[in-house]
Each structure stands twice: as C-alpha cells, then as structure tokens.
Amino acid sequence: MDSEQIDLKSPDNYVNRDLSVLAFHRRVFEMAADDSLPLLERLRFLCISSSNLDEFFEVRVALQKHRIVLGQGHPGADGMTAGDLLAQVRLRVSDMVEAQYHLLNDVLLPSLAAEGIRFLRRNEWNAAQAAWIKRFFNRELLPVLTPIALDPAHPFPRLLNKILNFIVGLEGKDAFGRHLLHAIVQAPRSLPRVIRLPEEVAGPGYNFIFLSSIIHAHVGELFPGMEAKACHQFRVTRNSQLLVDEDEVEDLKKALAGELLERGYSEAVRLEVSTKCPEDLSDFLLHQFNLKHSDLYRVAGPVNPYRLAAVCDIVDRPDLKFAPFTPGVPARLQVDAVDMFATLREGDVLLHHPYQSFAPVVSLLSQAADDPQVLAIKQTLYRVDVSSPIVDAMVRASRNHKEVVAVIELRARFNEEDNIALADRLSAAGVQVVYGVVGYKTHGKMMLIVRREGRQMRRYVHLGTGNYHTITSRYYTDLGLLSCNTALGEDVHKIFQQLTGLGKASRLKEMLSGPFTLHKGLIQRIGREAENARAGREGKIIAKMNGLEEPEIIRALYQASQAGVKIDLVVRGICCLRPGIKGLSENIRVRSVLGRFLEHSRIFYFYNDGLEDVFCASADWMSRNLLRRVETCFPVLDDKLRREVIGDALRPYLTNNASTWQMQSDGSYKPVSGRGLQKSAQQTLLDKLARL
C-alpha cells in the first residue's frame, strides 16, 4: 500500500495499552521460566509477575470497570471498548495464572526441594513436625485470629484488599444454640505467610510451611463444639485508585490521608479462590463482593505467590542467586574526601545506576547541608524512603539555617502514606514543603544547590531519570547527571519557580519540560529527522524508555519511518506502536529488554545530521507524562559523556540477546534467539563499571 494512502489514525495501527501491559507481565513471568537464571531468582521473578498482576487489577481493570459504570467505555486510539477489553483481559490472565501455578508446582518447588529448600504440605508432616506446628498455632495464631460467623447479627465482614482469608463451612450448633453455615477467618497481616521449621524437627536444609496450611489444619479449634466441614482460602483485590478532587479540597495532604484509610475497602475487582473451593461457596463469595463469574480466578496453590519472595531473602544460598557486586564510582570521584563542588567545577559527572553508586548524589547534598557557603537547596521528591540519607541531609541543612525547599508529590501511587510521613518529617524540621501543582503530578527528578563563591552565585544541579530512593537505586537502571553548567542551572531554577510560585512558564535554554515544551520538542525533533531523510540525508532515532503510548508521538514516528528514518526503540513495558508494517513502520524496530535489574532509564538520541543530540528524561512517551505531569528532559552537553551514554546505555541494548524480546506488528513478542555467546547489556555494564 502507498504510504500516502495509509490512515495514521486508523485503530488498526495501535496496540491496546492494557493488553500491552499484560504482554509485559507475561515477559516477566517468562523470566521465571528461564532455566539459565539462578533458581531463587526465578522464584523471585515469579513473585514479581504475581505482584504485577495484582497492580494491574487494582489500577487498570478497576479503571475500565469504572468507565463502564459511568458510560465512558468508549474506544481509545486502538478502537477497543472497555467491555471488549475486559473480555480479552479475562482470557489472557486466565492463561497466565494457569502457567504461573504450573511453573510453581511442577518446576520451581521440585527444583528447590532438590536443593534442600522444601515446602512441606500437610500430608507430609510427621508427628514431631505436627506437634511443633500445633504449638506454634496455639502460641502465635490462636490469640490473634478472629473467626467471624455469618448470621443476621454478624453480616459479611469488610475484608481488606489482598489479605489472605478463609471461608469455612460449618455444621452443628454454637454456644448459643444457633445453626451456622459459614464463617470467615482472616489471616493476621502481622505474621509471615511462610514459616521456617527448626532443624530439630525438620532436619537440615530449609524447610518451610505455609501459614495457610497451619490455619487450615487447625481451623476447627476456632469453632469449639462445631465441625468445620470445609475450609478454603480466598483473596479479594480492590480498586486502589484514590478519588480526591484536588480542585475541591483545601488541604491535599489531609484529604489523601483520609482517602487512604478507605482504599483497602473500596469496590472489589477480582476474587481468587482455591481450585478445591466448591462452586456454591465461590458463588456465595462472588455475591458478597458484587462480582461476576468473569471476575473469579481459581488458583492451584497459595492465593498470593508474591509472599514467597521472602524465601529468597531468608535462604542463604549465594549459588542460587545473582552474584553480588559493589557499585563503582567514576574515576574523578575515586579520591578520599572528594570535594564535590570543586569536582563539578572541573566538569560534569555522569552516573550509571546501579552499576555505579548513588553515593555521590548523597555526598553532594550532604556537603551542601554542612557548607556555610551554600545558601539554598531545592529538591523534588517522588518516591523516597523516609529515613534515607537524602532526607537526613535536607533536615540537617534546614537546621543549619539554609533555605530548603522540598517539592513532594503526595500522589505517587502506593507511596502516598510514606510521602505524607516524609512531608511531616521535613515540615517539622523547618523545610518548606510544597505539594506540587494541582492537576499535574510532579514527576521530574532534580536537585538545585545555590552556593556563594566570592562575588558569584553558582548553581549546582543533579538531574536524573530515576527517583531519589537509595534502595531502588540498587535495582533500577537509571542515569544521573551532576553539573554546574550555567544554562542547566538557570533552567532548573526556572522550573522550581514554576512549581513553587505558579507563575507563567519561562523559556528554558537547554532543557525540555512537561507539560510545556517536552511533547512539542520531541515531535519537532522526530520531524527534523524525517525532513533530513526526505532530503536524502541520514535520519536516525534511538530511544529507550519504559512505555510508549502517546498517539501524536506514535504518528510522528510513523511519518519518520515512511520518510526513511531508521528508528530503534527499546521499550521495556507498554508499547502501543505497531512496528514492521510495510509502508507505515517498516523502518521501526521495537525491543523489550529485561534482566537482573529493572530497566528504568529514559534516553532519547537524534542523529541531527551528525550533530547527535542526546537527552535523558524522567518521562516516558506516555500521554500522562508528556501532557499531565511536571517532567524534566535534559541534554547531555559534554561530548565525552554524550559518547558514554550512546556507547554504554544505548547501543548495547540494540545487540542484546539475553532476556530480550522483539515486538511483532500484531503486538505480540518473540524472544530474540542468541547465536553463540549471550550478549547482555546489563552484564557488560556490570563488568565495566562495577566492582565484582
């Protein structure tokens, strides 16, 4: 077909966002099935895939159900209605859940047992083990379990989101002479879901039992004088969206805190029950949660496999885990008592996390907190551990009488409670806390330090693709730039002015920012590559990100492909663009790379007729990031560092054949088969930058 006859807005040219999310979750699950990975890491990937599905139901399925209720289930760019989408979700999730439990029961658990890591079923307990388990039940469980019989005076209880529960079928009379049929038992949240048996009763190695097995074995003791005829585990997943109308509340923090109390009890979106649960009991539960049969998923094992992740940390078997490493630091910082300010005056510093340490970022902030020449510190905080050294340094800086401003995004999903606690701690220390902008999440990652140096006021900045979270910096791949470049400093200063003063958007010299110039700037640069290609010059785009969904960006990429631009996209998760369609996207290749670390960096390369522009960003190419969030996108201006980004953080992913999938034009993914030695970009960077 002639490219001029192709309708770029046709739904046929777009993959559904949520089905693309599910395809990503499937790839994570396939990591668990990869027998070339260490055994305990495979178990961890299985747990992650289970947690990913939980969040998918809490957020995406909940959203589609809500749209149907409101009569807003109209098609998106892909043309799929909410009702049709949920039907597809049901088919794909059912298939994935079946595969998860098959892998767990028939592959991983037997393989773990062969390594001396056993999960003992009730029918495997010997007399000594059964006696120890009974004592454990009486000591640890019985005092905190609250069985709730169901009758007119005891209606069906409110059950928390994702908590392990049991429905119990009863026979006989209770202490008051009542005939009761059903009761609910909720497992205490305070107890682990897997318990290790001591060696004196279980022998050498690691021997675990499920908390659910203990409760199941002794549930009759919760109903003296009655007989527990049936006991089946179940779990309900609820909508986790927080419904706070920011335009209608006077205090966002207080409103969010109130909404968080109710999040665990919002409307149900999924019910999971044991495969052995009779249909009459599962129907009873569906009725209680106002769910349909299409919302029911039967599982052949623990209803929350994610809790098995604890085993990966308990078991001390380095041979069954990824090899440990120590993050490196750039050569210029490998000196004792490095003066971060003097180092940055000599030139920018680029950090590749987690291969290189996050410590230089902390050191810069810590030195600023104690330096009498530093007058002000400003920082955005999206996901941060409350007790982290980052927060400690900000508190210390405030107590040292510096002007300290923290722009905290309270609405970082599933971190709202931690962010409220963070805001309280910083406010109590005298830090000026700002909660971003109403209607726009503050997602950009930036730090600004203002220092008096003689008669000059110099700005030092840190700009990153990831959060200021010292824990996740060990597991997420991200880039961070430390600089005292004048133009970058002025740009960061202007963005902070917009966040705190809420004035008009100022023109930036080097950076792009969302929601003002980022979307337009990306489309302009994509268009420039297309113009160069049409003029007979080389056009090339390489972009690495977590998600690609924004329709105008996709159409611009299609047009660039039609013009002859070679486009390589490394998209870890969502991708709504269809690559490889003749006359439309035949010059576009999309790869998804997974691995030991979560690929999180956003890097955009434009050939620009040989001048090679390289940007790093906090934003993916998603509608929410480009149009409804405060985001930062910064150029790598230093020639050496620009070559480093291209050579280390981009090009290796184009030849990576380990844990890599190539996207097909129908939206499916095929593993990239490696010929000869496996090429792993992550391992290459570990070998080059870390200390093994």
Question: Are the C-beta atoms of residues 306 and 43 closer than 8 Å to each other?
Answer: no
Could you tell me how far CA 145 lies from the centroid of its own chain?
33
Residue 25 catalytic?
Answer: no
Helix, strand and coil percent figures for the chain, each rounded to 5: 40, 25, 35
The interaxial angle of helices 39-55 and 82-103, nearest 10 deg, is 160
| Beta-sheet pairing, 660-663 with 669-671 | antiparallel
Instruction: Please list the residues that pair with 298 across neighbouring strands.
Output: 273
- Tell me the H-state helices in 199-321: 199-202, 211-218, 252-263, 279-288, 309-314
Measured distance CA(554)–CA(575) in Å, rounded: 10
Query: What distances in angstroms separate CA 621 from CA 64, 84, 543, 552, 570, one per listed residue?
Result: 22, 25, 10, 10, 12
Measured distance CA(645)–CA(624) in Å, rounded: 26
The interaxial angle of helices 359-370 and 389-399, nearest 10 deg, is 10
Token pair listed for 188: 């205490």
Give me the phi and psi of 593, to 5 degrees please.
Answer: -115, 125
For residue 182, give the nearest of 282, 86, 111 by alpha carbon.
282
For residue 568, give the nearest of 538, 584, 592, 597 by alpha carbon.
592
Neighbour-count burial of 227, counting CB atoms closer than 10 A to its CB (0-12 exposed, 13-18 middle, 19+ buried): exposed
Measured distance CA(346)–CA(353) in Å, rounded: 22
Amino acid present at 433: V
Neighbour-count burial of 90, counting CB atoms closer than 10 A to its CB (0-12 exposed, 13-18 middle, 19+ buried): middle
Measured distance CA(320)–CA(78) in Å, rounded: 43
Instruction: Please list the residues that pair with 209 across neighbouring strands.
Output: 195
Catalytic residue, chosen from 25, 443, 469, 519, is: 443
Token pair listed for 83: 């009702």
Amino acid present at 194: V
| Beta-sheet pairing, 629-635 with 613-617 | antiparallel
Measured distance CA(10)–CA(169) in Å, rounded: 54
Q: Give one DSSP letter per residue of 119-165, joined into a string.
A: E--GGG--HHHHHHHHHHIIIIITTT---EE-BTTBPPPP--TT--E
Question: Are the C-beta atoms of residues 396 and 371 closer than 8 Å to each other?
Answer: no
Catalytic residues: 443
